Amino acid sequence: MTKTPQQKLTEDQTHKAYLIAKYVYENPKTKTIAQGAKELSSEHKVNFGTAKILIRVLQDLLSGLEFTRALNEYTMRYYLQNITLDYGLSARDRALMALMKHIIYRETGNKLTGRKPVKQIAMRLAYEEFLSDGDKYKGLAEDQIEQEKILKNLVNKNLINKSIKDEIRRMNGDETEIITITLSLYKRENRAVALIKLLRGAKCQMCGTGILKQDDSYYIEAAHITPKYMGGKETLENIIILCPNHHKEFDLGACKITHRDTKSIAFTLNGQHYNLSLD
């Protein structure tokens, strides 16, 4: 087999690779690995060989199977994090199992084929971090799942904006961590976030995107303007609704807030200017 030289991927290409690979995994009858790879290479300029690897590896991670071709560290971490977010903790554990099989494969040479053992330092580090950092990702994934459950219940209730806003404001004054809604226990902050998502139409406030899920609801994330660890709360003034791509860019990119009051926020993010309503 001829080896395809792996190209250096941009973060956006990694994001697109994940989305296409996820689609192929969930809809194998609609799109094959080869079709997905073709799309990734023609529309997002990833070379075809690399595109196939990117799609196959996600299938192997989700199935807990050994894979032989390597991903770069950024892509591996991106995949692990998004697997956790999209498929939950057991999927993350399966993915880590697949990664460990891969590490062992790469670190074991083969005398017959002349394959040399290669130390997998970056991959071992990612593995260790995702394993021990489980709690961080656990919190993230579970909150996201809970918010979606609440949002799904809220959507059919035809609530008017004023009553949604009133509830968000009321919740902010409430210090109870856990609340009961129709016999289910929820974290108060997840209820508040779900209400804000509902109010703002479950679409990214920066680009208008919402990710349609199989059950016809939308996947969307909430970003804190003042981070939680700095005391930022789940209020209309402090939450913006973003797609996963813009959420990452908002958290990791070069961001300068140029104006902020209780009704809107304006900022420059990686050189692009945005003005978002906080109403």
Contact 266, 273 (CB under 8 A): yes
Interface residue with Zn ion, options 94, 224, 246, 267 (CB under 5 A): 246
Amino acid at 134: G
Q: Quick one: how many helices (H) and strands (E) in the chain?
A: 10, 9
Q: Measured between alpha carbons, how far is 10 from 7 in angstroms, rounded to an integer? A: 10
Binding segment for Zn ion (CB under 5 A), chosen from 9-17, 22-30, 112-120, 235-243, is 235-243
Under rule CB under 5 A, which residues in 108-147 are in contact with Zn ion?
A: none
Q: Which residues contact 1 (CB under 8 A, 6 or more apart)?
A: none
Nearer to Zn ion, 170 or 273 (CB): 273
Q: Measured between alpha carbons, how far is 111 from 108 in angstroms, rounded to an integer? A: 10
Interface residue with Zn ion, options 33, 99, 194, 243 (CB under 5 A): 243
Which helix (H) or strand (E) segment holds residue 192: the answer is: helix 188-199
Nearer to Zn ion, 103 or 243 (CB): 243
Taking CB under 5 A as the rule, does residue 240 contact Zn ion?
A: no
Binding segment for Zn ion (CB under 5 A), chosen from 15-23, 28-36, 39-47, 205-213, is 205-213
Interface residue with Zn ion, options 207, 212, 252, 257 (CB under 5 A): 207
Minimal distance, residue 54 CB to Zn ion, in Å = 22
Contact 177, 187 (CB under 8 A): yes
Q: Which residues bind Zn ion (CB under 5 A)?
A: 204, 206-207, 209, 243, 246
